[in-house]
Amino acid sequence: MTEREKMLSGARYDPGDPELADARNACKALCQQFNQLAYRDMEAACAALNQALPHAGQGFWMEPPFWCDYGWNLTAGKNLYMNHGCVVLDAGGVTFGDNVQVGPLCGFHTSGHPLDAEERARGLEYAYPIHVGSSVWIGAGVQVMPGVTIGDGAVIAGGSVVTRDIPAGVLAAGVPCRPIRPITEADRMLP
């Protein structure tokens, strides 16, 4: 298996592999171009962002600065919005459903490192996919860890660290993040 194949399968892989390093560098150059051009030359900024994220759906926008590792491993439905300072480490694949809103300074981290010090010293990583359902709201400063699924319609309170799956239709909060209560009809009347 190539290092890319290992990465995509969830096996330990070497992120220093030249193919992976070149792909990351190309994506980061496009992110840097987007970050520098946004609000000054929107046409060029959008072109860079569209090139960096070829699998993002219609109506997506990332407020700068925005960073991701590969871009081609991020898939989004329509109307994804990410506020300032978001980071997507998409080695394991990150999927967003439709109508997802992400607050500022959030991170989606598919990559992790072995617990064993010798394995870490060898520079190996693993990457597990993250799935975010449709109509999810993720508050400011939330960090989503490798292998997590967040169900449709969930709300993740600001500052949470999501280390486990969160079911659909719940308000979840905390470190580690856990479901607090279902979102109900009564919530429609709240500000």
- Which residues are tagged catalytic? 113
Q: Which residue has the tokens 């592999």?
A: 17
Q: Amino acid identity, residue 37? A: L
Q: Which residue has the tokens 């660290």?
A: 161
Q: What is the DSSP letter of 125?
A: B
| Cβ-based neighbour number of residue 139 at 10 Å | 17
Q: Which strands form 143-144's sheet, in the order they lie side by side?
A: 66-68, 86-89, 107-109, 143-144, 161-162
| Cβ-based neighbour number of residue 105 at 10 Å | 16
- Report d(CA 18, CA 186) in Å as an integer: 54
CB 84 within 8 A of CB 104: yes
- Report d(CA 53, CA 122) in Å as an integer: 30
